[in-house]
Chains A and B, each alone.
Chain A
Amino acid sequence: MMSKTKLSRRGLLKGSAAAGVALATPTIFSSNVWAAGYTNEPKGSTVTLGFNVPQTGAYADEGADELRAYELAVEHINGEGDGGMLNTFSSKALQGNGVNGKKVTFVTGDTQTKSDAARASAKRMIEKDGAVMITGGSSSGVAIAVQGLCQDAGVIFMAGLTHSNDTTGKDKRANGFRHFFNTEMSGAALGPVLKNNFGTERTAYHLTADYTWGWSQEGSIKKYTEQLGWQTAAAVRTPLGAGDFSQYITPVLNSGADVLVLNHYGRDMVNSLTQAVQFGLRDKQVNGKDFAIVVPLYSRLMAQGAGENVKGIFGSTNWHWSLQDEGSKAFVKSFGQKYGFPPSQAAHTTYCQALIYADAAQRAGTFRPSGVGAALEGFDFDGLGNGPTTYRADDHQCFKDVLVVKGKENPASKFDVLEVVEVTPRAQVEYPASMLGGELGPYNDGA
């Protein structure tokens, strides 16, 4: 009997739908990375890490500094160079012979400081290059996007420079870990310093970058300054990358406010600060008081762009190369000798993240995300430039001292633009993990 293939309309529709679903499934779910014990389990003599940093776009200089730090970290982990902060790190698990007996190699990706590009480059490093961990970045929007991708793919994400509360708050994921501080800690650290320098009867005017980090920063500074008794005259959202902020600064002149808070980062910070100083705000007197400008998140690389406009202006930072603890000194020496200039806070946090990850994998004896994660949760360490530090298990956020800095009046070199005015003790910036919401969920090993 001859068999007949009968193609009904319904059958065709069903078939097309099934094919559509199959095609729409991200290749990551069907690729052979899932066949192993965990995603990208290294079988040979090397292990590959993925450094996902902005190599083009507005944060390219910061990205380049992150990459320099990663290369240095890989050298030190593999036992080359002077060892840097491995010599001062309190954990002595790493022996300078790679991790778990495997030599560390790396691949790099370009985030372009765009979420979709960052996800694409992270995906490429995981699927094509076999990266067992992704790290880096210079923006919270990007960090949150890549963190989600790493969670789904079953690899660890060690965040780079990301300062929004959401990264380890409402958008936290089990596979994601952040060494950098956040806006809540900036607010808690800056509050008392602002009180001591400017008193309790002040009126603040906020200019805020209109995206996740800006809102987070504005909320935190408002919270802590209003607790001091300050009033908020206005909080104005400005478009990202506005360039000329003068139309937002002119209303400040006669608003009655005597403090301007610039919740801007990067190029926006350089421009808005330069223009605010141009409009005479740094030398102005309002209500019988000296007008003040505050930049809650400082970056030394960016501060260089604002030139002498940063003089006397307060802000907070995660780390600064002028710190005199043994860890910072070792890192500055190692980095400075290799590259000829001191490292930025972005370089510091990424170097630390690479070292901490390698150490955790060594202690866990595996690169399996849940194994490494268990080694990181509640991990207490010291010697990496920020004093005694803990990776809190509840939200995968590092807790350590926070630096309050001020633009230096008489810089000795072009790198010497900020001075540390206070090291805010860790206890003062701690908060309950439940405060920022979100759920870590379970680890994804990818198997």
Chain B
Amino acid sequence: MDAFFLQILNGLDKGGAYALIALGLTIIFGTLGVVNFAHGALFMMGAFCAVTVKALLGLESVREDPTQMTAWGTPVEIREPYVETWFGDFGTFLLDFSVPVSILVALPIMLFIGIAMERGLIRYFYKRPHAEQILVTFGLAIVLQEIVKSIFGANPIPQPAPDVARGMIDFGVSIGFDAGNVVYPAWRLIYFLFSLAVIGAVFAFLQFTTFGMVVRAGMADRETVGLLGIDIDRRFTIVFGIAAVVAGLAGAMYTPILSPDYHMGMDFLVLSFVVVVVGGMGSLGGAVAAGFLLGVLQSFASMNEVKAILPGIDQIIIYLIAVVILLVRPRGLMGRKGVMEH
């Protein structure tokens, strides 16, 4: 039972990342009608915002100590981060909290990247076939990946969570398990709550603001909204920026869970498309529900008890579910009629 519960928790934090990426993909698809294969790269760019913030905060003064030599005969370098020299304890605190701090930096940067991407490239492909949109966004993803690799190298870069969130939380005691049976890493629980908060914010934005209302109207009938004198294109540009921010924040907060490298976006991209398809193209609720659902099912499929009956199921479960859903409900769990059907 405790193992079962642990896998649910595990699926939820994984599902949080899937849901956030799928949410952005669905927003872009629903508003702009673009299949964005560069969305995984936006997740990766967000993660590298965190890496950059840590690198900048960690900039060090270097002085050589002539009394000590390296193994190759040069003086040993003594390094000290500037923020610690300048701000003392507050500097140490900033270094420790570099991942949460990077959220504040990632927000404007990702918004800018999203808007630049839409204005500079994507908008020229609105009226082109989906196949061409896929090719150009996939190409863009590779370009972004290679840029990141040329700057940061190919190896994963460790990105620790703040000290206070590095431990485990004995989650089980509060729901009646014995102490020590259901313990879970604090940062993963934080990530799950964070993903819920971001999802809530996006839904609230679309549901309760005038801007959101116009966007939803545009999703339903772009032409009519245009005829009413509203510049829907400009709003959609901002929507693209918001989707980039969601992916970027998801990436930045994920770095303590998965040391970022240039390829991490691609790993998530394919899964996220499956999530979108299972949830139903164009359905925001469907994307979120399918994200969590697939995360949990993937965790269950990795349990030894399940693998003993169906070896290798952990590697195909996501695709298996996609096949079943597409056979039984071709529009996905919560898909709307008319999306991608003409």
Which residues in A have some Cβ–Cβ distance to B below 8 Å?
56-61, 234, 236, 239, 241, 243-244, 246-248, 250-251, 253-254, 267, 270-271, 274-275, 278-280, 301-302, 304-309, 321-322, 329, 332-337, 340, 342, 413
Contact = CB atoms under 8 A, between A and B. Distances in A.
A253 B183 contact: yes
A248 B302 contact: yes
B153 interface: yes
Contacts of B302: 247-248, 251
Contacts of A254: 2-3, 6, 181
Given A58-B154, A59-B154, A253-B183, A306 B73 contact: no
A7 to B, nearest CB: 44
A308 B160 CA distance: 9
Given A270-B156, A336-B73, A278 B187 contact: yes
Contacts of B187: 278
B314 interface: yes
B257 interface: yes
Contact of A309 (B14, B158, B185): B158
B207 interface: no
A61 B10 contact: no
Contacts of A278: 166, 185, 187-188, 256-257
9 contacts: A59-B154, A61-B153, A247-B298, A247-B302, A250-B10, A271-B259, A279-B185, A305-B158, A413-B76
A251 B304 contact: yes
Nearest to A54: B154
B155 A302 contact: yes
B185 A305 contact: no
Nearest to A307: B158
A30 to B, nearest CB: 36
A47 to B, nearest CB: 30
Contacts of A251: 3, 6-7, 302-304
Interface residues of B, number: 49
A381 B167 CA distance: 50
A337 B72 contact: yes
B267 interface: yes
Contacts, number: 125
B258 A271 contact: yes
Interface in B145-190: 149, 153-158, 160, 166-168, 181, 183, 185, 187-188
Contacts of B6: 250-251, 253-254
Given A250-B299, A274-B158, A243 B304 contact: no
B61 interface: no
A200 to B, nearest CB: 25
A267 B261 contact: yes
Q: Which one of A56, A59, A247 has the greatest number of beta carbons of chain B within 10 Å? A: A247
Contacts of B315: 239
Kindly name the residue among A234, A239, A254, A308 whose own CB sees the greatest number of chain B CB atoms within 10 A.
A254
A335 B72 CA distance: 8
Contact of A336 (B74, B77, B261): B74
Contacts of B156: 267, 270-271, 305-306
A304 B314 CA distance: 30
A344 B3 CA distance: 40
Contacts of A271: 156, 258-259
A332 B314 contact: no
Interface string B224-268: 000000000000000000000000000000001111010110011
Contact of B168 (A279, A309, A322, A335): A279
B307 interface: yes
Contacts of B185: 278-280
Given A254-B181, A309-B158, A334-B72, 15 more contacts: A61-B153, A241-B267, A243-B258, A246-B14, A247-B299, A248-B302, A250-B3, A254-B2, A271-B258, A271-B259, A279-B168, A336-B72, A337-B72, A337-B73, A340-B74
B310 interface: no
Nearest to A269: B156
B70 interface: yes
- CB-based closest 9 A-B pairs: A336-B72, A307-B158, A60-B154, A247-B302, A305-B156, A247-B299, A280-B168, A250-B6, A270-B156
Contacts of B3: 250-251, 254
Given A247-B7, A247-B10, A250-B3, A61 B259 contact: no
Nearest to B300: A247
Contacts of B268: 243
Contacts of A270: 155-156, 158, 259
B155 A333 contact: no
Nearest to B301: A247
Contact of B73 (A57, A236, A250, A333): A333
Nearest to B312: A237
Contacts of A247: 7, 10-11, 14, 298-299, 302, 314
Contacts of A244: 14, 257-258
Contact of B71 (A243, A309, A332): A332
B7 A250 contact: yes
A336 B72 CA distance: 5
Given A250-B10, A271-B259, A337 B155 contact: no
Contacts of A307: 158, 160, 259
Given A271-B259, A337-B72, A246 B158 contact: no
A337 B74 contact: yes
Which residue among B7, B73, B259, B268 has the maximum number of chain A CB atoms within 10 Å of its CB? B259
A256 to B, nearest CB: 12
A308 B166 CA distance: 12
A217 to B, nearest CB: 20
A318 B72 CA distance: 20
Given A243-B258, A274-B259, A280 B71 contact: no
Contacts of B167: 280
A278 B256 CA distance: 9
B320 to A, nearest CB: 15
Contacts of A275: 257-258
A427 B183 CA distance: 45
Interface in B37-77: 70-74, 76-77
A250 B257 CA distance: 14
B167 to A, nearest CB: 7
Contacts of A246: 10, 13-14, 188, 257
A340 B62 CA distance: 15
Contacts of A279: 168, 185
- The CB with the most chain B CB atoms within 10 A, among A61, A274, A275, is that of A274
Contacts of A337: 72-74
Contacts of B154: 56-61
A254 B2 CA distance: 8
Interface in B313-329: 314-315
Contacts of A59: 154
A329 B71 CA distance: 7
Nearest to B161: A278
A321 B7 CA distance: 42
